[in-house]
Homo-oligomer: A and B are copies of this chain.
Amino acid sequence: MSEITREKILETAVALLRRHGLSKVAVTDVARALGMSHGNIYRHFASKADLLDAIAERWLHTVTEPLQAIVEGADPAAVRLEAWVLELMRLKQHKLTDDPELFAVYHSIAEAARGVIEHHVAELLAQLTRIVSEGNAGGEFTVREPAQAARAILQATFAFHHPALLSQHRTPSEAEARAVVALLIAGLRSGAL
């Protein structure tokens, strides 16, 4: 029952945020919409910040989950690396185009909840580190520090998935993402890092 309530609170909060925006939704509004006391909500979330953290985490999980499936696939590391970048690009761009208002809300929650973003970035880096390490093990790559290479790959592909850039005027193409990934993969094979 408690998990159901928690989910219900999160869903209701998202619906309210979507309609009224981040600054205008208080914990009491969520409680009122659910017909429960705000004390009941505080049993699940210690504060509005806590509630927003949970919303941001849930949202970011819808990004990392399909990426994890790619990481765990059987393809060569170079193939998985390209698929991972292209999927990250698609997921972020779809979120922006499908629901720009909600994207803005989520983006500002994520920005405010620094710890949540740091955790998300750490997850993405862990996925990339695993692909690079497995590429080393399989003889595809010759990378001395997979964690350093993972950070370089994430930074080098910001143009295609960073929320602060996605809302810019010019949307980069998938062909452009493939070109960058091709350079990076060649770099991973070369022993440059």
Binding site for B on A (CB under 8 A): 114, 148-149, 151-153, 155-160, 162, 164-165, 168-169, 172, 176, 179-180, 182-193
Q: Which residue of B lies closest to A145 (CB)?
A: B179
Identical subunits present: 2
A179 to B146, CA, bound (A): 12
Extra inter-chain contacts (5) besides given A153-B183, A155-B159, A184-B184, CB under 8 Å: A114-B169, A155-B176, A156-B157, A183-B188, A186-B191
Whether A179 and B159, one on each chain, are in contact in the complex, defined by CB atoms closer than 8 angstroms, is no
The prevalent SS among residues of A at the interface is helix
* Contact A152 B179, beta carbon cutoff 8 Å: yes
> CB distance B179 to A151 under 8 Å?
yes
* Contact, CB under 8 Å: A152 / B180: yes
A67–chain B nearest beta-carbon distance, Å: 19
Instruction: Closest B residue to A175 by CB, please name it.
Output: B148
A157 to B185 Cα, complex, angstroms: 16
Listed A/B pairs (21) with beta-carbon separation below 8 Å = A114-B169, A149-B179, A151-B176, A152-B179, A155-B176, A156-B157, A156-B184, A158-B159, A159-B162, A183-B183, A183-B184, A183-B186, A184-B184, A186-B187, A186-B189, A186-B190, A186-B191, A186-B192, A187-B190, A189-B190, A190-B190
